[in-house]
Amino acid sequence: MKREALARIADAQRGRRALVAVTRLADGAQCLVDADTIDGELSLSAEQLTEARSLLGSGRSASLSSALPGAERLFARAYVPSPRMLIVGAVHIAQVLSKMADAAGFEVVVIDPRGAFASPERFPGVQLTDEWPDEALGRLGLDDATALVALSHDPKLDDPALELALPSKVFYIGALGSRRTHEKRLERLRAAGLGELVGRIHSPIGLDLGGRSPAEIAVAIVAEVIQVRYQGERG
């Protein structure tokens, strides 16, 4: 792969933007495709461009088709953002969840402005931010490779995060709390104008495995996030 293309791909990955690199196998000519643009020395048919863009959300590789017999062979490889879990609330469950999510291949960020909670001593090796959730999410961005998990049990922290996540492209939104707590949460979010979007929230959070300890709840959350990531939402 050419140096300029590698630099573009690296820049896109730092910015958590998906790209597809298309290469002509005969001579190595390339182009880079994203959701809106195509750039490079290689031209694609409308059909091939559609096929290339279909890979943007998958991270897969594929040969691009051609209606012409003996046409040049094109190979497409997608470069997509790594899966990421943003955890709001540096609580006990978050301590276990951050380790499990990391082991499952997620980039993990724990968000909590309370320094006594979000400390390196409690979260060794975990990326922490003491920003308020709305500030942190605005800086980090909310893309379709991100899961948002609200665990603080404090509306001052959880609600602003949910208000930003609900209309965004994140693939999963979950919030800790009893059914009664969640009903009050829904009332506040509807009053904030989120309407039917509140149906995106998984609460009670996690698959119903019957567990109650922080570790068991963390297992249930990771399992549900992975299920939604690969199987989508279930009606």
Residue 68 has pLDDT above 80, yes or no: no
**H or E segment at 223?**
helix 214-231
Given pLDDT bands bounded at 50, 70 and 90, which one contains residue 5? confident
Could you tell me the domains of the chain?
Answer: 3-79 (no CATH), 84-231 (3.40.50.720)
SS3 151: coil
Given pLDDT bands bounded at 50, 70 and 90, which one contains residue 173? very high
Q: Assess contact for 34 and 18: CB atoms under 8 A.
A: yes
Q: Assess contact for 111 and 129: CB atoms under 8 A.
A: yes
- For residue 39, the cross-strand partners are 32
32-43 as b/e: b if 16+ CB within 10 A = bbbeeebebebe
Residue 9 has pLDDT above 80, yes or no: yes
Q: What's the confidence (pLDDT) of residue 58?
A: 76
Q: What's the confidence (pLDDT) of residue 32?
A: 95
- Spatial neighbors of 227 by CB under 8 A, at least 6 apart, are 207
Per-residue pLDDT tens for 14-61?
A: 888 889 999 999 888 999 999 899 999 998 989 999 999 999 877 788
Residue 77 has pLDDT above 60, yes or no: yes
Average pLDDT, the chain: 93
Given pLDDT bands bounded at 50, 70 and 90, which one contains residue 66? low
Reading the block at residue 91, the tokens are: 């609580």
Q: Assess contact for 55 and 64: CB atoms under 8 A.
A: no
Q: What's the confidence (pLDDT) of residue 2?
A: 76
Residue 235 has pLDDT above 60, yes or no: no
Given pLDDT bands bounded at 50, 70 and 90, which one contains residue 71? low
Per-residue pLDDT tens for 108-123?
A: 999 999 999 999 999 9
DSSP code of residue 106: -
Residue 228 has pLDDT above 90, yes or no: yes
Q: What's the confidence (pLDDT) of residue 234?
A: 62
Q: What's the confidence (pLDDT) of residue 108?
A: 98
Which of 37-46, 133-142, 159-168, 200-209 has the lowest average pLDDT?
37-46
